[in-house]
């Protein structure tokens, strides 16, 4: 998977699994900017798998994302929820 596909997978995951459905309304560039900050975790997993000698075609990014999702998605969910609160606050002001 390339960076765009990973971002799309993560964005779909967040949109489909968050209790705040209005997160889906956040502009794509904001979502991409936020998700990019978590890519180091995904790429670390990719690098680790390569170091351990797995062939590239056996790489299953979804399995790695599952392993790291408590770090990645919980942190993202908190940031996204705060972003929604901030946006709503700015709109009401």
Give the residue, 24 or 79, on which the prediction is more confident: 79
Which residues neighbour 42 within 8 Å (Cβ) at sequence distance 6 or greater? 6, 10, 61, 64, 65, 68, 72
Residue 30 has pLDDT above 70, yes or no: no
Structure tokens at 58: 């056996």
pLDDT value for 83 = 66
Specify whether the CB–CB gap between 35 and 43 falls below 8 A: no
pLDDT value for 19 = 61
Instruction: Give how many domains the chain has, as a whole number.
Output: 1
- Mean pLDDT, residues 43-55 taken together: 56
Name the CA dihedral angle for 3, 47, 57, 53, rounded to a multiple of 10 degrees: 170
- Mean pLDDT, residues 23-49 taken together: 58
* Cα–Cα distance measured from residue 42 to residue 67, given in angstroms and rounded to the nearest whole number: 10
Q: Which domain holds residue 20?
A: 3-92
């Amino acid at each position: 998977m390339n960076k765009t596909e990973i971002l799309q997978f993560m964005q779909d995951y967040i949109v489909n699994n968050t209790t705040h459905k209005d997160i889906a309304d956040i502009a794509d560039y904001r979502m991409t900017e936020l998700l990019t900050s978590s890519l180091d975790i995904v790429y670390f997993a990719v690098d680790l798998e390569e170091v351990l000698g797995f062939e590239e075609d056996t790489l299953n990014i979804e399995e790695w994302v599952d392993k790291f999702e408590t770090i990645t998605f919980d942190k993202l969910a908190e940031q996204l929820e705060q972003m929604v609160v901030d946006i709503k606050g700015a709109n009401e002001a």
